[in-house]
Every structure is written in C-alpha cells, then in structure tokens.
Structure 1
C-alpha cells in the first residue's frame, strides 16, 4: 500500500524526509479569505496568520459538516517555512472523506507544545464562529499526538474525540528525562568520542541552529564513535529499544530535542542527580560513571506547563503506533493508558493494532482505519 509521508514524521532523523514531509502543496496559493480554486470540485482554501501562527483551512466541495483539526509534528527550529502554509500530506485523506481540515503551523518551531495547543484551539474557535461544524475531531502526529491528548484533556468540551498517530503520548517531563538518559549513556559508553564540549548530554552546549547541516554532522560523529565499539553500541541500542542501524539517528534527534528545549526554557528542564539507571549492563558501574546534571528551576517550571498529561480525558481517544519506530519506542505505548486507568478513564481509550515500519509511516488506509474507529467509538 502507498504510504503517506505525514508532516509529523519530521521527528524522524532524516532531513531528506523532513523536506518531503514539509513539501509545498500542489495546489496554487490561495489569497486570504475562503476562496474556491479554479476547479469547482476542489476544496475552498483559506490561509493566513492568526496571533502570529500561520494557518490553513480547507472545506471540500462535498463537506459533511464536520471538522478535523490536524496537528503536525515536530518542526526543527530554523527550518524555512512556506508561505502560505501548505497542506499536510495527510490533509487530502480527510478532505476525500468530506471533512473540513484546519491546520495551524504554530507560532514557534521546536518543542512548541504550548503554542500548538493554544494556536490550534484559537484556529478551531475561528472556524466554529465562521462555519459552525456539527462535530470536531483532533488528529495529532508524533510530538502532536501529545498535543492532541492534552488538548482533549484541556478543551474536551469542544471536541468529539482525538486520534494520536505515532504519538509521543507521554508527559513532556518523561520525554526529556528519556533524552537525557540516552545522551548521558552514550557519554559513558563512548568517553573518547571526540565530540565538542563535554559530550552529547552537555547542558551548556549550544543548540543546533542549522539543523539541516548540524544534525547530520552530529549523527555522523556518533556513528563514527559507535563503529569503534560495536559491543557498546549494541548494548545501548537494546537499552533504548531501537535497532543498531537506527541508533545514531535516534541519538542525534535527542541532541536536537534537548538543546532546543534548553534554549527555549533557559536551562535544562530535567536533571538526573538522583536517578538510578538500569538496563546498561553493570548498573552499579554505570551509575557511578554517568555524569550528573541538575535541572534549572525556571526550565522545570516551563516544562510543568508544557505537555503535562494527567490521564483525565472525558472523550474518546484512539492511539495507533508503528510496528517499528526508532523515534517512539515500545516502552512509551503503555504510559498514557496506565495514566488514564489510574484516573478512572480507561474506558475512553482504544488502542488500534500497530502498522507500518518507520516513524509515522502509515498508508492512507491505515490512517482512515484508525480514524473510523474513533468515529464509531464516539457514536
């Protein structure tokens, strides 16, 4: 089956894939305001900026009266944006089924969870005021699987349900504890990697301001270091639940995420001063060797208001993961269902069987299959 390169897949490591996922729409640019394209059957398109966030809204010719708020995934800071904001590759899937689609680019790039929630909610309110859809749905990918869930927790009265595809469906604090774990582990296992600064986990390191050039360079340096000690690389891959072939890419992504978060928050948002690590072989020796970091209080406060999931949803949520995903490891998959169960909301969650190999590598049929489960569950 053909696969749709969801814009959420920018969380994947290849920036060639990033370019594919952020490609411009094949439709001609639409002027501000809802305007039909020359083809009578083509969607009507509205593009513009709302509170600093570019947006795109489309209504198909045979609109079914319902709205999908489509949430794209992680967009590295500094990546050039198209103007007007182009349709996500997944947009056509929902337009073909008769749904109107609203997409915010968010006012900022990087770990823009807070902006994604607020900007998408602002766009939804504008669409509702102008077009009064009968029902509204959230569909989030990758980082914005988390955004879809938190939006459902915060603004559930405005939505009928949410679908998280290939989502980082865990609290942001756990995301950054996980990135610190992987980077600190690399520094223990490859102490002579020859990387700039004090290793991959260095909290004082500068962000990757040119990710298209900087991240591949970091990835190559990591791969070179691991080639000199394949046994240590295999041990690290097992601990991180990724294949050895994907390990360098996963680590370089974690570098990108952590450094951007430090720059955004003004410090390291999660520390490891009292963390006891396991899964790296001789745990006592590992914990004695690993470098310890303290979280910055102001960064911790930022993180507490950014992707702070609680499990307290009141509407249906469907989760679908990929079978093999170097970005969203298997250990993430049980986290939010357990949180919802602890909050007494387990009945609101449906987990669809995993499909596709690679981050956000779903076919259109697999996307619609999961979305149809959501619609049926909502009734």
Structure 2
C-alpha cells in the first residue's frame, strides 16, 4: 500500500484549507463583516467565516476524527467544504475541539459553546443548520438529539452514525479479532497495555497476500475491496488503541459474541480471541456517544456508494433507528454517490444542502 493510500484511508481526519482574511471579532454584539474571525473558547480553537453577502443564516460545521497529535494550525484553518456554504451566502462556524481522538462529548460541548458564542457576539441567526462528516456525523446526530431546538436542519455525509459501543463491537473489534483468528500473529493483544499504538499497513498487507483464501473471506464479510482491506484494518487498530487509552481500559466485551460469516463459524468462534470489557471503559463508550434516533428537525443523510472506512452495513443503522423512534418524517436519505471515504464533490455537497433547505422550507410552509 502506498503512503498516499494510507493517508487517504486515515481520512477520518479532516482535510483543511485556509481561506479568507483573519480579523479580530468585535467586543460587542454586531453584525459581522466579511472575513474570518478566529479565537479560542475554553481551549478549543474556532473559526467563523462570513461571506461578503451574508444571508443572515449560519452553518455549524463538525469535522471528522483527528488522531491525537495530528498537526493543528493556529489560527484554525477551514474545512474543505466551507466554501460550498459561503458561496450560498451562509456564515460558517467550526470548532477545532479542545481534544483530539474519540472525544465525542467534548466535541459536542465545544460546538455548542461556539454556537452560543456566535449568538452572543453577533445575534441570533435567522436559521442555524448543522453539518458533519465522518465521526462528525455522530456528533451532529448527538447534537440534534441533545439540542432539538437549536437547529433549523441538519446534514450528515459519510457519517459514522452508529452508537460508539455498537461500532466498536460490530465494526472495529469484529474486524480485528476476525483478522487475528484467520491470520494469527499480526494483530497484537488489544487489551495489553504494552501493545503498540499502531501497526504498519504494509505488515497487514503482506499477511493478507500470504493468505489469499482467508483474505477473501475477510474482504467479503467486512464489505471491503482487497486493495482497501489492509488500510482499513490498520486504521481500525489505531483508532481502537487511542479510544482504549482514553477510556482507561477495554471498552468492548465479546465473551458471549457469536460470530458469523467467516467460513466455518463453529471453528472460528472456538479460536477467536475473547476480551473481558472494563465497566469504566464501556461506560465511556456509551457516553461518547449513544444515539437514540429521537430527532425533531429535518435531517438529510448521504454516503458514498463504496466507503472502505464506514462500510455499507452501517449506513442504514441510524435511519432505521430514527424510524423506530417514530421520527421518520424528519429524515431524507439521498442515493449514495462515488467511491471512497467522504469523497464528495462540492457540487454534490451543495445539492445535498439544497435538499435540506427545501425540506426546511416545506416544513415551515405547513406550520
């Protein structure tokens, strides 16, 4: 696997692009002028971009997973999708978050603090939307569940919209213990404190090439392509070790899990590594975060047709949860487009947002 491919697959991290003049915010509530306003709120860098012809509305933007230690620029740079909203006349506010890694509750709190700062500094926008991608999708879903009256509408693209305990158990840990059971001696003990924080994707790829039959079983069951499997497994391991360290122990208990779809299931379940979860760590996973599906604002969701990081088997989880909660009238799921993790063109992002605005307008006309 090339270095470029590995970096693309670690694309839970947000790709950022600088734009706009940086000026200091006014000390009193006033309509902001055209430009970028940056600062820090309780340890979290933030950025507010205002277009030349501001329509009075605001988009809160929540970025994806950033590994602990990933470089951060000061002042904060803007996410790549920011110009999409600025061109439509919307102001965009985004927090860097005070914590990196799987700190979902911190991200939600930092985003809400920034939203309130905008209102207190510039006045309440006519409409406030919230948009998130990748892990930011979970944070957006949690935000509209926790603050149902704060947002006019929400949009999630390529979102990890599965409760943390479920994505860890059925996504990350399932993939890692399956790889270990089928191709041993590559994945270190997930619960051992001295296990490394990351594994070279080249080592994983070499093991897969040496065991093509087992690799084919893994790719089929995990809904991966052969060329993406090593990068995804390496990413899952890195993310899991970081979250485990943050949680203070093993956040998953798979002692009673019955695995299916890995060939001889009986033999597989006999040899798969079993882990005893730490109550403290499992509680951290529930807090960061568990989704309910209860929403009260229009939500538009869209995924890539093939996403190696958040595969198709996870896409319907939150939509089904919303419908089961009786709130399906708020939900619009757009047809998937493109291949890759968060591989959307500006035009596709703009089209999805236009759909959300229309849904909001239709809702308003009925009231």
Q: Same fold (TM over 0.5)?
A: yes
Shift of 1:207: 5.7
Q: Note if contact 1:223-1:248 (Cα within 8 Å) is conserved in structure 2.
A: yes
- Counterpart secondary structure, 2:147: helix
**Cα 1:153–1:124 shift into 2, 3 Å:** same
Per the normalisation by structure 1, the TM-score is 0.88
Of the three residues 216, 239, 261, the one matched with 2:243 is 261
1:315 matches 2:304: no
Per the normalisation by structure 2, the TM-score is 0.91
Shift of 1:104: 0.2
Shift of 1:304: 1.6
Q: Note if contact 1:34-1:45 (Cα within 8 Å) is conserved in structure 2.
A: no
Which residue of structure 2 aligns with residue 167 of structure 1?
A: 159
**Cα 1:235–1:205 shift into 2, 3 Å:** farther
Shift of 1:26: 4.3
**Separation (CA, whole Å) in 1 of partners of 2:14 and 2:134:** 13
Which residue of structure 2 aligns with residue 272 of structure 1?
A: 254
Q: Note if contact 2:156-2:300 (Cα within 8 Å) is conserved in structure 1.
A: yes
Which residue of structure 2 aligns with residue 123 of structure 1?
A: 114
1:191 matches 2:184: yes
Long gaps (5+) in structure 1: 1-11, 36-41, 209-213
Which residue of structure 2 aligns with residue 138 of structure 1?
A: 130
**Separation (CA, whole Å) in 1 of partners of 2:276 and 2:13:** 38
Alignment map for 1:282-361 (pairs within 5 Å): 282-361=264-343
Which residue of structure 1 aligns with residue 364 of structure 2?
A: none
Provide the aligned C-alpha RMSD in A.
2.0
Deviations 1:328-372 (A, max 9, x none): 111111111111111111111100011121100000110011111
Of the three residues 224, 227, 232, the one matched with 2:209 is 227
Of the three residues 108, 114, 126, the one matched with 2:105 is 114
Long gaps (5+) in structure 2: 28-32, 362-367
**Cα 1:329–1:341 shift into 2, 3 Å:** same
Q: Note if contact 2:191-2:250 (Cα within 8 Å) is conserved in structure 1.
A: no
**Separation (CA, whole Å) in 2 of partners of 1:259 and 1:352:** 33
Which residue of structure 2 aligns with residue 204 of structure 1?
A: 193
**Cα 1:21–1:109 shift into 2, 3 Å:** closer
**Separation (CA, whole Å) in 1 of partners of 2:205 and 2:336:** 29
Query: What stretches of structure 1 move > 4 A for 4+ residues in a row?
Result: 15-21
**Separation (CA, whole Å) in 2 of partners of 1:92 and 1:146:** 23
1:69 matches 2:51: no
**Separation (CA, whole Å) in 1 of partners of 2:9 and 2:213:** 29
Deviations 1:242-268 (A, max 9, x none): 111100011011001110011100011
Q: How many residues align structurally? A: 350
- Counterpart secondary structure, 1:14: helix
**Cα 1:13–1:317 shift into 2, 3 Å:** farther
Shift of 1:33: 2.1
**Cα 1:106–1:232 shift into 2, 3 Å:** same
1:363 matches 2:345: yes
Shift of 1:270: 1.3
**Separation (CA, whole Å) in 1 of partners of 2:242 and 2:13:** 22
Deviations 1:55-83 (A, max 9, x none): 00011110011000000000011111100
Q: Note if contact 2:13-2:65 (Cα within 8 Å) is conserved in structure 1.
A: no
Which residue of structure 2 aligns with residue 55 of structure 1?
A: 46
1:375 matches 2:357: yes
**Separation (CA, whole Å) in 1 of partners of 2:303 and 2:23:** 37
Of the three residues 179, 182, 187, the one matched with 2:172 is 179
Q: Note if contact 1:203-1:262 (Cα within 8 Å) is conserved in structure 2.
A: no
**Cα 1:231–1:322 shift into 2, 3 Å:** same
Shift of 1:24: 4.7
